[in-house]
Amino acid sequence: MKQVITTEKKPIKLWLDDIEPGAFEQVKNLANLPFVFSHVAVMPDAHQGYGMPIGGVMASEEAVIPNAVGVDIGCGMCAVQSSLSTLSTEQLKSILSEIRRTIPLGFKHHKKAQDQRLMPKLEGAISDLPVVSDQYQSALTQLGTLGGGNHFIEIQKGNDGHIWLMVHSGSRNLGFKVANYYNHLAGEMNRRMGSKIPSSWQLSFLPLSSAVAQAYLREMRYCVEFAYANRMLMIQRIKEAILAVVRPVTFGPIINIAHNYAALEEHYGKKVIVHRKGATRARAGEIGIIPGSQGTPSYIVKGKGSRESFESCAHGAGRKMGRKQAQRQLDLRQEKKRLDDQGIIHAVRSVGDLDEAAGAYKNIDQVIDSQLDLVEVLVELRPLAVIKG
């Protein structure tokens, strides 16, 4: 931990030396909520989001906040070690072509519904999930699709000598619909209740005792499972793409970790709702993934179970530039050269791609160094080929 701030109603514990002003204001807002538990934890990749900064961890006793989870519910990472030790440039290009053929990117969905058996199992009746029920048929075409923004597929070389595959994706339009629906209901409920939390904070909450809060938690959990199913199907198709180019290949177990969700957990002897928005759970011995930016390393890590971070760590490098700012300020030639010099098959083609260039992100090695009290690094993975949404 780098510093503790005690000027607000609850302490703020930061794992970074400097935090952008907008994100810091959001952290202070969290620390002054009437139902926040113990303290607010801020990971080293933190930057401004909607309501709650990306890289924030907050626990509550009596409420859940949809905006403290975000619109890409269940967004997270999957990584798999392969038995391969090397791939040629031509093999990589062939694999990428096959991946693009079978996995829709950006806003694209499958033209046909995917196998319904791959969808998460329902805990009860689908009528208990009104938004999921309404979006279910559409979600069948979103299963196994990457999405846009900072979502990616990478083929990497680990310092363990193995080729790895990695996917970063979430719950697609299903999670977006659920998040917006319940954030709107939370805003209406807070106005009716006469909540003293300013609407400008974008932190409308749902009292845990309310039926709508319980409905949100059910739908949120389904979206977390859908995001996992989405990544699992993509991992399967990436494996098939590799096997179409090179054989024999075996694959290790899938490492999966989400970084946008709220969950009931026990901390400091109390059952609380832990909100992780752009933060990864890191219980003692738990294996996780902290990805870098395009062209920088990613890391397989093992959690140390830090109480003070609510057993959490960073979810990635974290942005240091907004998307439009990156497109205005970064040098396209320089960013392409950075990747070309490393021999990476990359996705930076035009100025419009600079929002996902390495220069738009924090230094991943500094982010890792800032949280060595939270995680132990197991494997460093360097990118060989990148597909962006």
Q: What is the pLDDT of residue 26?
A: 98
151 is in an annotated binding site: yes
The number of folded domains in the chain is: 2
Q: What is the pLDDT of residue 240?
A: 98
- Clarify whether residues 293 and 283 are in a common domain: yes
Region 306-334: mean pLDDT is 95
The reported pTM is 0.96
- Clarify whether residues 72 and 139 are in a common domain: yes
Q: How confident is the model at residue 123 (pLDDT cuts 50, 70, 90)?
A: confident
Using the structure block, give the residue that is written with the tokens 């109480």: 307
- Clarify whether residues 314 and 384 are in a common domain: yes
- Clarify whether residues 215 and 157 are in a common domain: yes
pLDDT digits (tens, 9 = 90+) for 362-381: 999 999 999 999 999 999 99
* Cβ 336 vs Cβ 347: under 8 Å: no
> Cα dihedral sign for 151, 307, 6, 201?
positive
In whole angstroms, what is the distance from residue 318 CA to residue 149 CA? 13
Instruction: Determine which one of 39, 109, 162, 315 is catalytic.
Output: 315
- Clarify whether residues 18 and 59 are in a common domain: yes
pLDDT digits (tens, 9 = 90+) for 11-32: 999 999 999 999 999 999 999 9
Residue 347 has pLDDT above 90, yes or no: no
- Clarify whether residues 144 and 185 are in a common domain: yes
Region 279-303: mean pLDDT is 96
70 is in an annotated binding site: no
- Clarify whether residues 220 and 285 are in a common domain: yes
Lowest-pLDDT choice from 56-70, 171-185, 346-360: 346-360
Neighbouring CB atoms inside 10 A of 290's CB total 28
- Clarify whether residues 375 and 267 are in a common domain: yes
In whole angstroms, what is the distance from residue 144 CA to residue 182 CA? 25
**Token representation of residue 48:** 């401004």
315 is catalytic: yes
- The domain of 337 spans 321-360
Q: Residue 144 is part of a domain; what is its CATH number? A: 3.90.1860.10
154 is in an annotated binding site: yes
Q: How confident is the model at residue 244 (pLDDT cuts 50, 70, 90)?
A: very high
168 is in an annotated binding site: yes
Residue 294 has pLDDT above 90, yes or no: no
Residue 375's nearest CA partner among 298, 266, 277 is 298
- Clarify whether residues 172 and 47 are in a common domain: yes
Region 269-290: mean pLDDT is 98
Residue 389 has pLDDT above 90, yes or no: no
Neighbouring CB atoms inside 10 A of 42's CB total 29
In whole angstroms, what is the distance from residue 75 CA to residue 72 CA? 6
- Clarify whether residues 170 and 312 are in a common domain: yes
- Clarify whether residues 303 and 330 are in a common domain: no
* Cβ 37 vs Cβ 59: under 8 Å: yes
In whole angstroms, what is the distance from residue 232 CA to residue 114 CA? 13
Q: How confident is the model at residue 192 (pLDDT cuts 50, 70, 90)?
A: very high
98 is in an annotated binding site: no
260 is in an annotated binding site: yes
In whole angstroms, what is the distance from residue 385 CA to residue 389 CA? 14
- Clarify whether residues 277 and 378 are in a common domain: yes
The DSSP secondary-structure symbol of 281 reads E
